[in-house]
Amino acid sequence: MTTDAYDWFEPLYAQADEDVSQIPWALPGAVPYLTQWLSKNEIDGKEQTAVVVGCGLGDDAEALSSAGFAVTAFDVSESAIAWAKKRFPGSTVNYVTADLFKLPAVWLGGFDLVFDFRTIQALPVAVRAEAIAQIASLPKPGGTVLIITYVRADKAIPEGPPWPLTEQELSQFEESGLAVIGKETFREKESRFSDRIQIQYQAPEQGMYK
Ligand SMILES: C[S@@+](CC[C@H](N)C(=O)[O-])C[C@H]1O[C@@H](n2cnc3c(N)ncnc32)[C@H](O)[C@@H]1O
């Protein structure tokens, strides 16, 4: 697979030169969907590991670290990773430059919690099945995968990025062996895509990988 699908991220972060206002998706902190999920479910990450996919500037990784998880957070952009480390100098998060499509073998089946907010939707539909398969390879047996993404009802591919997901695309997580254990939808009036979904999956106890 070529890297055209995502090699525009690195120059964007590099050219922003640590000016957060230059990053179109930057939020003032961790996404409230995640912090609410953590508090509502009284998640205690002590003795547990989490991985954040496409972590960008690191706020969600820091929220998971504050909830007690030992967090690995990766992004394909080395400038984003360097910037995240600089933003959180005392952090215990392990920030790593890594490509979702070339995951280190030691990560497979390695995490109690796998979190993605807005990475899958930022990747073109042509690489979606592979992106989902890669994310689905990360949880430990019995581990959790939490995905928050825009969704679309229409099969036609919208002009992206982002490219909201269809139910059918999301069903690839289940085809990978994960079970849906929670689903919430949110309507966002401010956005050009109105529907967001938060899905919690559980990996089978016997694990996805032998
Ligand atoms: C829309 S941004 C979202 C960033 C962060 N998750 C957030 O919500 O603030 C998508 C992120 O995915 C990263 N990304 C894109 N392709 C990737 C890949 N193949 N492997 C790892 N990260 C990737 C980008 O560099 C970017 O930081």
Determine the pLDDT at residue 36.
97
| Residue in 119, 120, 148, 198 to alter for ligand 1 test, most ligand atoms within 8 A of Cβ | 119
Could you write out the DSSP letters of every residue in 36-89?
HHHHHTT---TT-EEEETT-TTSHHHHHHHHTT-EEEEEES-HHHHHHHHHHST
- Reply yes or no on domain 9-16+31-202 having CATH 3.40.50.150: yes
pTM of the model: 0.96
CA of 162 to the centre of ligand 1 (A): 11
Q: Are strands 179-187 and 195-202 parallel, antiparallel or unpaired?
A: antiparallel
Q: Is 209 in the pocket of ligand 1 (CB under 6 A)?
A: no
Q: How high is the mean pLDDT of the chain? A: 94
pLDDT tens digits along 37-75: 999 999 999 999 999 999 999 999 999 999 999 999 999
Instruction: Supply the pLDDT for residue 208.
Output: 67
Residue type, 163: W
Structural domain boundaries in the chain: 9-16+31-202
117 close to 60: Cβ distance less than 8 angstroms? yes
pLDDT at residue 209, as a whole number = 56
193-209 pLDDT, tens digit each = 778 999 999 999 986 65
State if residue 52 touches ligand 1 by the CB under 6 angstroms criterion: no
- Residue 210 pLDDT level (bands cut at 50, 70, 90): very low
Q: Which two tokens stand for residue 186?
A: 């949110």
Tracing tokens 């912090």 back to the chain, one arrives at 35
Mean predicted confidence (pLDDT) in 103-107: 98
Q: How far is the CA of 156 from the centre of ligand 1 (A)?
A: 23
